[in-house]
Amino acid sequence: MHQALYRKYRPRTFDDVCGQDHITRVLKYETAHGQISHAYLFCGSRGTGKTTSAKILARAVNCESPVDGSPCGKCAACRLMDSGGETDILEMDAASNNKVDDIRAILDEVVYTPSSLRYRVYIIDEVHMLSQSAFNALLKTLEEPPSHVIFILATTELQKLPATIISRCQRFDFRRIPVPVLTGRLEYIAKCENIDLDHDAALMLARLAQGGMRDAISLLELCAGGREKITPAVVNDAVGSTGRGTVSRTARALAAKNAAELFDIVFETDSSAKDITVFWGELISYYRDMLVIKTGADAIKYLDLTEAEAEALRSDAALFTRETLMYHSRLLDDAYLAMQRAGAIRRSVAEMTLLRMADERLDTRPEALLSRIAALESALAGGMAVTLPSFDESRPVADSEVTLGDAPAAPPKVVVYPEPQKAPETPAKEKKKEEETAPARKPIRNFAEIAERVAEADKGLGGFVRKCRAYDDAGRVLLYCETQFTKNLLSREKSLNLIASAASAVLERRIAPNAVKVEVLPASEDPDAAALLDSELGFACRRRQTAGVRR
């Protein structure tokens, strides 16, 4: 009968356990010197060696002549345990035996001495699945078991264990196995099994395993089923992945705002029977890598990449600002959650999200506005000349009508929408007009806190203040309210004193009552956020152009 590779190459000694030296070193010392604990707790993610280490420990404590803390494999006890004929090492799966009666059956047996070995060892896997009553039944025996009994508990979810159980055990945290260690082990197994494994394919398998040795070996066996050379293309076909090449192509298409290319990528992924959700997860990981590259000076040490992959990642990251990467990552996360919902049309979700990522004008959320502002700041910081065409209010402005001079490839093209042009004026009048229409007022971002302080002093007045919009107008506090009645109420001396006192405390500077001005905001002067942003961006570009800034 065929035996799975992860079982065939399961470590037999502590020295064979990969990537857990901080644990095997302690266990070897305790076994060699006879300092064995009565209860152990092994916790960590799947495939990191918890159950394997528990079985090695059970064999080591019963070995008649251990070698450096590991079982010798030659004595009578080791041969008995290898043959599977021992009755003193019991392994229980708590996921299917989680009732209090299952634990009571164990407690009834612990009073008896081992039949053929030195210790009776109980290995309880997935111990977090036990019921609360089962945990309570185990507590007393776990704290003071008989001298011939050892408990080894293993779990992937430590947070679900009661603190009373954790405190009674010697705890070991198993780490995710590093990619280089996984790669070396895969290449060793491939050599032993006469599997032709490409190094880049081994590296890809190690990354896909996410720190789990069992997953990595299972993926290797899956790819080796065809008995052909295992290359990155074979791995992609086996796991349904599109590969980093497609993900990088998607990032470049987003930077170039190439909608046709984005639709082609989604169509190719869907028609090739690849899972769009897998592709989406790879795109999220790629954006994470670009953020790491963009943020850290020595970012390569956080990424398991080859030199060629790292260079391609740097090239793609240079096409985006950090604000844009954060905005895109938010959209990707939201779309991924939408794809998980039952009945979601994944292809449509992917296409609509990619369109929003390619054109921030389709989204008025703060992240999209910040992305547009950051792109404009980068363009202006590079000294680019901005040419604004005439604007006809009766028709939309096409992207081709706005030029940015000899703009570099990064950051992406910035589209600026000017304000409507009116009849020509004299230069002096035009200059005066621009100074008068300059957006000197800035919104007071923490106005909500000011309103709360006013409400603490006067609850009725605070209700009217909350409905106002507040701006910092050259050091003064300018409040816009909705009705004349509200203006009259807030303009009273008592009201102005309360507002000024609250503003002084929040803004951390003195605001006199006569520096608080209340006005009524007409409905026609209530632009939405996107229109206000376009107006301010157009004004900044004209000021830049008037000052004679050129590349």
Point out the domain boundary residue: 147, 174, 201: 174
Question: What CATH number corresponds to the domain at position 491?
Answer: 3.30.300
The order of strands in the sheet holding 442-443 is 442-443, 469-473, 476-481, 516-520
Question: What CATH number corresponds to the domain at position 227?
Answer: 1.10.8.60
CA distance 69 to 485: 86
**pLDDT tens per residue, range 174-187:** 999 998 999 999 99
* DSSP character at residue 517: E
Q: Are residues 127 and 214 in the same domain?
A: no
Question: What CATH number corresponds to the domain at position 330?
Answer: 1.20.272.10
Please give the structure tokens belonging to residue 125: 């896997």
- Partnered with residue 155 across adjacent β-strands are 43
- In a domain, residue 117? The reply is yes
- In a domain, residue 399? The reply is no
Residue-level pLDDT at 428: 52
CA distance 109 to 92: 14
Q: Are residues 42 and 57 in the same domain?
A: yes
Q: Are residues 222 and 356 in the same domain?
A: no
Point out the domain boundary residue: 124, 157, 174: 174
Q: Are residues 183 and 161 in the same domain?
A: no
Q: Are residues 340 and 193 in the same domain?
A: no
Q: Is the peptide bond before 411 cis (omega within 30 degrees of 0)?
A: yes
Point out the domain boundary residue: 201, 218, 239: 239
Q: Is the pTM of this model over 0.75?
A: no
- In a domain, residue 391? The reply is no
CA distance 536 to 534: 6
How many domains would you assign to the chain?
4
- In a domain, residue 121? The reply is yes
CA distance 301 to 313: 14
- In a domain, residue 299? The reply is yes
Q: Are residues 163 and 259 in the same domain?
A: no
Q: Are residues 280 and 228 in the same domain?
A: no
Question: Residue 473 in contact with residue 517, Cβ under 8 Å?
Answer: yes
- In a domain, residue 396? The reply is no
Q: Are residues 142 and 15 in the same domain?
A: yes
Q: Are residues 286 and 157 in the same domain?
A: no
Which parts of the chain have pLDDT scores under 70?
Answer: 1, 297, 342-344, 379, 381-440, 522-551
- In a domain, residue 462? The reply is yes
Residue-level pLDDT at 162: 92
Which domain does 495 fall in, by range? 442-520
Q: Are residues 85 and 185 in the same domain?
A: no
Q: Are residues 145 and 256 in the same domain?
A: no
Q: Are residues 31 and 14 in the same domain?
A: yes
What's the half-sphere exposure (Cβ side, CA atoms, 13 Å) at 23?
28
- In a domain, residue 122? The reply is yes
Question: What CATH number corresponds to the domain at position 19?
Answer: 3.40.50.300
